[in-house]
Structure 1
Amino acid sequence: MTETVTYRTMTRDDYSALINMVCNAWYNDNECDWATAHRAAEIDFEYALARTTTAQVAVVAGRVVGVILGRIDSLETRPAVNKHHTNTLKLMAGLVTSQEGRVLAHRLKEMKRANEAMLKAAKREGHAYDAEVVLFMVDPDVQGQGIGAHLFDWLLDQFKANGVKNYFLMTDTTSDYSFYDHKGMNRVQQEPMTPFPMPQPLSEDERIEEHLHAFMYDSEVDASNEGVNPLGRD
């Protein structure tokens, strides 16, 4: 029997559980100790919080099992550099004190570089955005129950309620990016990444297979339908 899922606004009390989710999803790959992986995940999460204005979590039996963080530009009241940006810098200083930490720091910086390059390229091509899907995660133990779809649709409703026209998100080949294809979103940019030193150049197919690409998706917010109206598609 499937347990009841409840949804609510994210609070500070959820941060620890969510950082653990980020760690298990992207950093706890047996290539470093837990403390180092956890610090990298905390940096990643703090950087997401630095851009977040709207957030919801999914809870099962008192345990946070999913989250979606969004940024709506019109709701942002913080300075351009806020406390979460400062926290990432402090945490990064501690991360680079070990070799394992420096590898993860490189991964974080490479992701940031790729995302910034894709957004810059999209803007050069004439795209403009007033919202972002910042972070979207569902615990693998509860996937397939519609939790991800519920969270995503909730954020789209928030976008509509606040007059958002166009939004974007960043992902990569370590995530289930097929979800966004299924949603009918438009993949507008693709950027190769090299999170670890490679002994020799990889072919395009090998790079995709080795999880070395970042993707940027975007879509319009359609007030009359379900929120997804792919840009440039019929």
Structure 2
Amino acid sequence: MKNTLEFRTIQKEDYTELEHIISDVWKYEDFCSPETAKKMAKLYLASCLINQTYNCVAVQDGKAVGVIMGNCFREKKHTAKYLPRRISAVLEMALSGEGRGVMKMFQGFDQIDEELLQLSGKTYDGALEFFAVDKAVHGTGIGGQLYQRAMDYFAECQMRNFYLYTDTACNWGFYEHQGMVRVVEREKKFDGHERKINFFLYEKTEVRDILN
């Protein structure tokens, strides 16, 4: 069977596959049970959808294998469209003590991200909100194609610069390969977990030159 690959905007039928990628890439089951990890992935995806003005999904042989989401701050977000799903995901997590504990831990992640942005002392035109690719297609160029599509969108928006948050649980080396620069970082070890995480803020400038 010939492999097919297409890039399109996200659809509801992609959610389950993308949530699996999220849980796998960020190793949610290191922090909680498989059931809670699944619910947390749903919450994370819904939160990303609320904060994006652009999204692109890579679909290989009918299966979503990667996604990228960008946020051009001057563009309108689609909050109302995705808010009900986020509320549902929060309520599902809140039904168990483990779920509430995991949400609190991830709220700590968000706080660290906010601190990184403050420490940078910079103002940006946008952000790369979410980028993940199924490990099964690493090295195939799909991630690079998704990234380029987001860069084209940012350039069309006449953005001068943008930032992204990443950490040692992710393939942060990819961003350096794309010419992004690490601006600031923080190290954090979480209570009750041996795992230590380094959090980074990367930036890219002169985005408008991409189309020239």
Structure-1-length-normalised TM-score: 0.80
The residue type paired with residue 151 of structure 2 is: L
Give yes or no for the alignment of 1:220 onto 2:205.
yes
1:131 to partner: Cα distance: 1.1
Q: Secondary structure at the match of 2:41?
A: helix
Structure 2 CA distance for aligned equivalents of residues 106 and 77 of structure 1: 26
Q: 1:153 aligns with which of 148, 155, 178?
A: 148
Query: CA 1:77–1:179 in 2, change beyond 3 Å: closer, same or farther?
Result: closer
The equivalent of 2:75 in structure 1 is 75
Structure 1 CA distance for aligned equivalents of residues 100 and 48 of structure 2: 20
Q: 2:182 aligns with which of 187, 192, 207?
A: 187
Contact 1:174–1:211 (CA under 8 A) maintained in structure 2: no
Greater C-alpha Rg: 1
Contact 2:53–2:78 (CA under 8 A) maintained in structure 1: no
Contact 1:130–1:164 (CA under 8 A) maintained in structure 2: yes
Structure 2 CA distance for aligned equivalents of residues 198 and 211 of structure 1: 8
Give yes or no for the alignment of 1:109 onto 2:107.
yes
Structure 2 CA distance for aligned equivalents of residues 198 and 67 of structure 1: 29
Q: Secondary structure at the match of 2:29?
A: coil
Query: CA 1:198–1:62 in 2, change beyond 3 Å: closer, same or farther?
Result: closer
Contact 1:159–1:221 (CA under 8 A) maintained in structure 2: no
Structure 1 CA distance for aligned equivalents of residues 139 and 42 of structure 2: 27
Contact 1:46–1:88 (CA under 8 A) maintained in structure 2: yes
Equivalences, count: 212
The equivalent of 2:26 in structure 1 is 26
1:49 to partner: Cα distance: 1.0
The equivalent of 1:64 in structure 2 is 64
More helix by share: 2
Contact 2:152–2:210 (CA under 8 A) maintained in structure 1: no
Structure 2 CA distance for aligned equivalents of residues 182 and 15 of structure 1: 29
Query: CA 1:97–1:41 in 2, change beyond 3 Å: closer, same or farther?
Result: same
1:41 to partner: Cα distance: 0.8
Structure-2-length-normalised TM-score: 0.87
Give yes or no for the alignment of 1:173 onto 2:168.
yes
Structure 1 CA distance for aligned equivalents of residues 126 and 143 of structure 2: 19
1:222 to partner: Cα distance: 3.6
1:106 to partner: Cα distance: 3.0
CA RMSD of aligned residues (A): 2.5
1:105 to partner: Cα distance: 1.8
Q: Secondary structure at the match of 1:193?
A: strand
Q: Secondary structure at the match of 1:75?
A: coil
Structure 1 CA distance for aligned equivalents of residues 83 and 166 of structure 2: 20
Structure 1 CA distance for aligned equivalents of residues 88 and 9 of structure 2: 27
Structure 1: runs of 5 or more not aligned: 200-209, 228-234
The equivalent of 1:162 in structure 2 is 157
Contact 1:191–1:213 (CA under 8 A) maintained in structure 2: yes
1:86 to partner: Cα distance: 6.2
Identity across aligned pairs (percent)? Answer: 27
